[in-house]
A = this chain, B = another copy of it.
Amino acid sequence: MKAEIITTGDEILLGQIVDTNSAWMAQALLSLQIQIAQITSISDREEHILEALSNATQRADLIICTGGLGPTKDDITKLTAAKFFQTSLVRNEGVLTHVRGIFEKFNRTMPDINLGQADVLSNGEVLFNDWGTAPGIWVAHEGKVYVFLPGVPFEMKNLMSHRVLPKLQEFNSQEKIAIRYILTVGIGESHLAEQIADIEDAFPPHIHLAYLPKIGLVRLRISASGSDMVQLEEELDHYAKLLINRVGDAVVAHDDISFEEAIVRSFVESKETLATAESCTGGNVAKQITEIAGASAMFQGGIVAYANQAKEHLLHVEHSVLAQYGAVSEETVIQMARGAQKQLGASYAIATSGIAGPGGGTEEKPVGTVWVAIAGKTEVKTKLFQFHQDRILNIERTTAQSLLMLWNLFQKEKGI
């Protein structure tokens, strides 16, 4: 079964929001062996929606369309879908009662504008929305399935999980796809490709290798498609093993987890703990770690020491060090890392200090100058980076590099 996602709404085309829904839906559908053939983002204008629905019908068996189900005048998906199916909208009393109930719960009267949210396609089945006012709609039409969902991520996710996926499980895909991931660290994409070229060259045509590089990391994805899932899994096991043996120590994880999750898991297993002392990353390192479920078993806490006062008072960086070398210096990050380690009682600590920009640069220390220190059990590693002008990128790169440095020191000190 092939699926296509259509997202409607000018806000994506104008770059006002990043489309995070599609990636989530793709992962959810993949769990049912349903592959996405295309993701299309279009404006919320009638002719675009009609064209996209019509094109998707040519390519896919399942068309999921998000957005444009709200109560306001720019929400035209249902009306347009009615035109597409040459059908009409009918008011659903169950939905109306539900929408009224939501407003009553907050002691508010339902505005008349919300009446339209209870109108659904007469050829469709209501996907009841317990998480908001806009119902989803499921339409089976000429051998294809069309699903209309609200674009609000929270509502879309709940409707997918509780309404759409259970219905989709009834469909049994003929084309199966099996996937393995190998997360590697510290080898560039090209060198990794050279290192494993002969293994890749020997892949049969139904097995495909992809390189997904990020800062300092390359994730390998091996996918196999065919009809016999057991055979596909066995083939993937075989090829994954060949790759893992070849790449050796650079393999961080054998499954589809993030680098942060690999760090959290390894620290928990080794009973090590982590603390952070962040200046230029402003809490982003702590945030990346604490997003991982189970982080509380290894993350003690962190200090976002933005002002110098915080560096002195909470991290016990010496006043004289700040005065002599400045906040962005090797001497300061070392004391920050040691301070976090001690104040938070952790075996490892990450410290970052730099000039994220756009302001604050000097000739000697231009925007993008960043010091990172990792305090471990036996030593403190430091590194100076010279990044570029973009504040957000500087924060992201510093975060990624500091996690790489942490991993390397953790590996080096393993067993100590």
A-to-B contact residues, CB < 8 Å: 9-20, 22-28, 30, 35-44, 48, 52, 55, 70-74, 108, 110-114, 133, 152, 154, 157, 179, 189-191, 193-194, 197, 200, 208-213, 219, 221, 223, 276, 278, 281-287, 289-291, 293-296, 299-307, 309-310, 313-314, 343-345, 356-360, 390-393, 395
Q: What 9 pairs across the A-B complex have the smallest Cβ distances?
A: A282-B290, A15-B26, A283-B286, A283-B283, A301-B310, A15-B27, A302-B304, A39-B41, A283-B287
User: Knowing A74-B211, A301-B314, A393-B154 touch, does A41 contact B22 (C-beta < 8 A)?
Assistant: yes
Residue pair B12, A23 in contact (C-beta under 8 Å): yes
A-B contact pairs, 8 of them (CB 8 A): A9-B210, A14-B36, A15-B30, A18-B23, A19-B22, A38-B48, A73-B209, A278-B283
Q: How many copies does the complex hold?
A: 2
Minimum C-beta distance from A401 to chain B (A): 13
**Chain B residues with Cβ under 8 A from A179's Cβ?**
14
Q: Which among A9, A28, A72 has the greatest number of chain B C-beta atoms within 10 A? A: A72
Q: Could you tell me if B304 and A111 are in contact, using CB atoms closer than 8 angstroms?
A: no
Min CB–CB distance A212 → chain B (angstroms): 5
Given contacts A20-B18, A39-B41, A40-B40, contact A282 B293 (CB under 8 A): no
Chain B, Cβ-Cβ closest to A9: B210
The smallest C-beta distance from A125 to any residue of chain B, in angstroms, reads 25
Find out whether the CB atom of B221 lies under 8 angstroms from the CB atom of A11. Answer: yes
A291→B304 CA distance, assembly (Å)? 13
CB distance from A366 to the nearest CB of B (A): 16
Whether A189 touches B72, Cβ cut-off 8 Å, given contacts A212-B11, A289-B282, is yes
Chain B residue contacts of A154, Cβ below 8 A? 393
Query: Which residues from chain B contact A193 at a C-beta distance below 8 Å?
Result: 71-73, 111, 113
B42 touches A13 (CB 8 A): no
Task: Say yes or no: A19 contacts B23, CB within 8 Å.
Answer: yes
Complex Cα gap A72–B289 (Å): 31
Known pairs A211-B72, A300-B310; A114 contacts B358 (CB<8 A): no
The answer to whether A194 touches B282, judged by C-beta atoms less than 8 angstroms apart, is: no
Q: Across the interface, do B344 and A307 meet the contact criterion of CB distance under 8 Å?
A: yes
- For the complex, give the distance between the alpha carbons of A23 and B19 in Å: 8
Of the listed residues A43, A282, A307, the one surrounded by the most CB atoms of chain B closer than 10 A to its CB is: A282
Q: Which residues of B contact A189 (CB under 8 A)?
A: 70-72
